[in-house]
Amino acid sequence: MLEVDAVTKWFDTPAGRLTVLREVSFAVPAGRRLVVMGPSGSGKSTLLSIVGAIDAPSSGSVRLDGESVLKGSAEEQAIYRNRNVGFVFQEHRLLDACTALDNVLVPVLAASSASRDDVARARELLERVGLGSRLGHFPSQLSGGERQRVAVARAIMLRPRLVVADEPTGQLDAATARDLSGILAELSAEGQCRLVAVTHSDAVAGSLVADGRGEVARLVDGRLAIG
């Protein structure tokens, strides 16, 4: 279970304190998805950063299977993210100098060298996202949708307990977006992984919860309303 409890986040600015999230709470059981929608500036990305252990809340707590994700040093948090969280960003954020296969293996290299099994899994994931013939291609040689599929494969590579997706289809056309959403939903469903995604697109949100294993929530003025 991913448990987000009364998370509040504010920033001190020259103009005064800016509160982005207010008492946000929700829970995502294993194998389930939460899609967060909301207007620009509503705090969606901030919420994802906190859930993904990139940022810390000003108050409140985030627990994954009972364990707080917000404790420990930067080193420990990095290790936590590496083992438990997969990220899909709005921009693909692939390493331009690396091939699709290399990019999928990047999370592995954060801790150690990649084994043959790791390489085999990376190949399998790329095949599953339809890029089995593009393993050696560089990001610059892939389309936007293909890059995001590589990013999805990278997020799933280490079988995380949580996948965080920030506008994963934001720069894709509708058909490609639907396609990618399906892949994301399918892959995240494996291994009882939770998925927390942010999107502006009702279609994407619908496709992510279409199988009945997810919910849609709306974030307005820093407050989250589920359903």
Partner 1 sequence: MPSSHQRAVRTLAGLCLRLATGWWRSVVPLAASCGLLATVIGGSVGVGDAIVDNLVRRAAARLGGVLAAVTSERPFAADLAVRIDAVPAFVSPVSIEATGAARRATRATLLGIEDCGSLGFPGAAPKLDRDSVAVNGPLARDLGVAVGDTVVLRVLERSAIPSDSPLGRRVTGSLGRRVKVVAMLDDSGLGGFSLEPSQSDEPLAIVSLATAQEIVRKPGMANTAVAVDRPPEDVGVRGRGQRAERSREAARRLDHAVRPTLRDLGLSLEIVRGDLARLASESLVVPPEADRAAEAVLSPLGGSPAMLFLANAIAVADGEETDGAAGASVPYSTVAGIAAAETPFGRLLGIDGGPLRLPGPGEIVIDAWMADDLAKQGRPVGPGSRLAVTFFLPETLHGRAIEASRTFSISGIARMEEAAVERSLVPEVEGITDKRSIDDWDPPFPFDASRVRSTPPHDEDDRYWKDHGATPKAFVSIDDARAIAAGRFGRTTTWHFRLPAGGSIEDVRGRLESEIDPAAMGFAVRPVLADGLAAARGSTPFAGLFMALSSFVVVAGLTLVWLLSRLLVTTRLAVAGTLAAVGWPPARLAAVFGGVGGLAAAAGCLAGAAIGPAWASVLLAVLARGFAGVENAASPAIFQPTSPRVATILAVAGGSFLLAVIAPWLAARRVSRLGVRQLMAGADSAAWSARRSGRLVAVLSAVAIIAALAVVATAGPVSQEAGRFFAAGALALLGGCGLVRGWLRPGAVRSGAGLVHRALSLHPARTLAVIAMVAVAEFLIVAVSSFAVQPPANPADRQGPAGGWTLMATLAEPCAADLADPATLESLGLSPDERDALRRATLLPIRVSRGEDASCLNLQKVKVPAVLGVGRAFRERGGFRFVAQRASDGSASWQLLGRRMGGSDGPIPAVMDEATARYALGLSGVGDRMSVTDDRGKQVELEIVGLLAPGILQGSVIVAEEDFLSIFPSTTGFRLLLAAVPGGPEEVARTEAAIRAAVADFIPTIRSCTSRLAALAAVQNTYLAGFQALGTLGLLLGTIGVAAVQARAVLERAGEIGLLTAIGFTPSRLGRLVASETLVMVGLGLVLGTLAAAIAVWPQLAAGRASLAVGWALAGGFGTIAAALAAGGIVVGRLASVRPAEAIRAPE
In the set 36, 47, 60, 102, which binds partner 1 (CB under 8 A)? 102
Query: What would you measure as the largest C-alpha separation in the chain, in angstroms?
Result: 54
| Residue 97 binds partner 1 (CB under 8 A) | yes
Count of residues in contact with partner 1, rule CB under 8 A: 45
Binding mask 146-165 for partner 1 (x = CB under 8 A): --------xx----------
| Contact present, 171 and 163 (Cβ < 8 Å) | no
The span of 10-18, 20-28, 94-102, 176-184 binding partner 1 (CB under 8 A) equals 94-102
* CB nearer to partner 1: pick between 6 and 97: 97
Quote the CA–CA distance of 148 and 130 in Å, as a whole number: 12
* CB nearer to partner 1: pick between 34 and 85: 85
Least CB distance to partner 1 at residue 212 (A)? 30
Nearest to 165 by CA among 190, 184, 149, 144: 184
| Contact present, 105 and 70 (Cβ < 8 Å) | no
Binding mask 22-51 for partner 1 (x = CB under 8 A): ---------------------------x--
Taking the CA atoms of 41, 81, 75 and 25 in sequence, report the sign of the dihedral they define.
Answer: positive
Q: Which residues contact 209 (CB under 8 A, 6 or more apart)?
A: 33, 35, 215, 216
- Burial class of residue 55, CB neighbours in 10 A (0-12, 13-18, 19+): middle
| Residue 110 binds partner 1 (CB under 8 A) | yes
| Residue 137 binds partner 1 (CB under 8 A) | yes
CB atoms within 10 A of CB 149: 28
Q: Which residues bind partner 1 (CB under 8 A)?
A: 49, 52, 54-55, 74-75, 78-83, 85-87, 89, 93-99, 101-102, 105-107, 109-111, 113-115, 118-119, 122, 134-138, 141, 154-155
